[in-house]
């Protein structure tokens, strides 16, 4: 799951860098490529969870959701680091993105029986 979260963050930052160096017409192309790459990662994670490990669908979906949330947190962290380094004038701190991602992940409806991020044995009440 951590590897997938890192992949989402790297895709977001990498394609963002490519889009920032492109002209206005190619920015959409790089954004579409980022969506496609993220979709490939999501399908690969779902397929791996269902076929290789034999995870139940609810546990697999929780693991996928947690990977997406951690990837979003990585993007928000990268945005804050960029804001500190680039010192863009006239823009506020993107710190709210870190808070929003963390609070959304905490309140995303994961029940107590499922456990945080689908830990092993959590669907059996363990």
Q: What is the mean pLDDT of each run of 10 residues along the chain (126 residues)?
A: 91 89 84 93 90 80 88 87 74 68 53 45 37
User: How far apart (Å, rounded) are the C-alpha atoms in residues 119 and 99?
Assistant: 24
Q: Token pair for residue 100?
A: 């929003």
pTM exceeds 0.75 for this model: no
User: How far apart (Å, rounded) are the C-alpha atoms in residues 23 and 17?
Assistant: 12
Domain ranges of the chain: 2-111
Helix-strand-coil split of the chain, %, nearest 5: 75, 0, 25
Q: Token pair for residue 117?
A: 């991020």
């Amino acid at each position: 799951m951590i590897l997938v979260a890192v992949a989402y963050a790297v895709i977001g930052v990498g394609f963002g860098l490519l889009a920032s160096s492109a002209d206005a017409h190619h920015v959409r192309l790089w954004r579409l490529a980022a969506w496609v790459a993220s979709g490939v990662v999501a399908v690969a994670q779902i397929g791996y969870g269902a076929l290789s490990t034999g995870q139940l669908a609810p546990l697999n979906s929780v693991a996928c959701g947690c990977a997406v949330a951690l990837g979003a947190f990585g993007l928000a962290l990268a945005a804050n680091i960029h804001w500190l380094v680039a010192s863009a004038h006239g823009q506020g701190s993107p710190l709210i993105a870190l808070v929003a991602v963390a609070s959304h992940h905490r309140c995303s409806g994961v029940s107590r029986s499922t456990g945080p991020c689908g830990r092993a044995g959590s669907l059996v009440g363990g």
